[in-house]
Structure 1
Amino acid sequence: MTMTMLAYTVLTDPAPLEASADGRSPSMGTVYLVVTNTRKAVDWSTIEVKVPVGKGAGDLTQNIGTITAKGEYTDTQSGTQPVTQSVKVRRQGNVFQATPQTGRRARFEPGDYMVLTLENVTVAPTAGLAVLTVTETIRANTGWQINDAAVPLVKTAPKEIPAPRDFRPDKAMLDDGDKLTLSWEGSADFEYKILYPGAPQPVPVTGRTWSPTVAPKRATTYILIATSGTTPKQEHFLTTTVQVRNPILESLTATTGIDTPWVQGTANATKGRVTFTGTGVEITGNSGGQGTVTADKADLNGVNTTWVQGRNADDGWISFPQDGLRVHQNGRDESGNVSAHGGHIDVVHAQRIHGQDPSDGWISFWQHGLRVHRDGQKIFGAVTLSKVDLRR
């Protein structure tokens, strides 16, 4: 049996090669054929590498045209430092032939080595053992020889696509006007979609980043859906939540209460504020001063206030001094009128009492008693009685 004069070893990147699979990107790799001389110096003219082409278990690739080849010879003996020079490599069909760069033949010294590299190999879709056939043309003591060697390499079954990971927002807390960008790590063999509240169906995504056309107005959870094109399909779900510093809610229902120091109107409103204190609430306007409460009716156990006025600025008003109450008119401090159907009063202090019409009579009070006037003037009037019972 004829032995080759040179030794041949195959290495691959990745190691081992992974067979291609339907529904995902082709599996690519690089094959390195390392040629070494472990015996004595020989001359060589060609080294050919035959690649099995097809889809089967014994084939390396089904597309020989994607492969690019190169060769390098390293001289480790001639000088103090190894010297590497190029080797000519050309393809004929499915055979790659290496020839010396310096001429028709070259010396291959013991300890020297050559590396033939096949790059961009599209790996065949069936796992198995592929065998490269190496043919060397070598000059030995008996003359030129042509020797063959079989160099095997393994293609493993394709592994499951790694699950996507690190689904994250660029900002965990958004302010008004901020743009949101979501990103993740994952294989290009997945089809990606994002689902979020308000979207009727998942939104298709290209690349590994995505931004909503409208930034969220409140805390929102986004779901990343990754689906493979393989059979059976792989499907993964990842979630991430974005918080909004000043959320906008359509409605809010709290079943056990709301704890907050204050409540304020929106930016488009007047920004009146209700503040919760230890004794109740305080109402302030948009300037920070005391504000106004508008209601149809109030049912209160008590009211503490310095004054009460009608809704218009020139309406009458009531103030509450220490000795009782005072009625004012026209929104000013001048005394006003009280109109009532009846009243029950223990004591009445008044300068005079007048009828309801301006021309009615009236009674004034002086230190000796009372005076009766008529026609709304100071002219003395009459008193009409059915009976008088005077006692001294």
Structure 2
Amino acid sequence: MTLVVQMQNAGTTSSDPLLSYTVTTTPSPLKASPENPTAPEEIGEIIIAVARQSGTPADLKSIRLKVPAGTMSPDLATDLAKITPRISLTGWSVHLEAAAKEFVFTPTASHTPIGPETGFTIQLSDIPVSRKVGTAPITLTESSRTGTSAFQDREAVFNIGKFPADFYMRNFLCEPSIIANGGDVELTWERSANAKYDLLYPGVERDVTDRTSLRIEGIKSDTTFYLRATTGDPTNPVTRILSAQVTVIKPDLELGNLTVHEGLQLTGPASAMVWQRIQYSEYAGGLTTTAGTDGFLVVDINTRGCLKVYSQPRGSVLVESTFDPELGKWVNPSATFPVVKGSEVSIEIVKAGQDGAADVVWFSLGGVKLEV
């Protein structure tokens, strides 16, 4: 089983990679080899999935992968010559430049165009993992260009953790996963004793090293909890993060800045507000209706995917899951849309992940529910 360690997205500056990279490891996480030099080494594998997210192809001349090797904490492998490198691009080959500690991937032709439909993988198998716990930085350098410009080296760095052999952190659960506003949850997890553990959620960072459970009370809005483990040498620690979520029925709604174009009239006392929850998976074919009153439409994506929401005055907006490289996971968004009385409201699935489910909540400011 693999775990997304980090994703490097193509950026906008001249030195940013033109391709995007997702790194996974097997096992997850990698285990440092025993410190006893006579003991067999732990074997690991790294797979890098590569894609071009822009619609404009990029020319790729080479990829160099610098892997630190040796006996120190920042070293990934004990011996690069034992690693088996592969690339899935047709017509490409790879060789090891031992002095530079780099695997160099090159095409038979001068370069290869990489468009949004041309995904490929780079694989490092049979890695004899270093015997020191710590984080090893792997540097990837692509030589690439767009159009007829000169090829340029563009760099991305991925930090790969090597954990103690007996380390584990698993089964991080939040129960119940759906609660009423102001309800409580019980967080539970399993972990080894050789790490420091912290629980993080909005506005809170709490040391839970001596615990395997914690009750959180009075939750008023959807919340993601993160359990972070840190171990190894303080000068070069390794960190692993798991997450769990709770959904709140009728959550407190906090707005920062709300900009309304073309006017929005709010009428009626606060007691006239009606709250209506629509489980969007029941309307997978699309939802189109007319608002009988002014109000707010709140859309929460529950599984990785993308919805197109149309309302007035905001117009058409895509609500899409995004990958957070710092957390190493996909984040499902929430979006709020002001709606004018008498205007059309529509929602359609643009890209579904898993079952494509979403929660749609309608806050009517005139006491009228949406007809669905």
Asked if these proteins are the same fold (TM beyond 0.5), I'd say no
TM-score (norm 2): 0.38
Higher-Rg structure is 1
TM-score (norm 1): 0.36
Larger relative strand fraction: 2
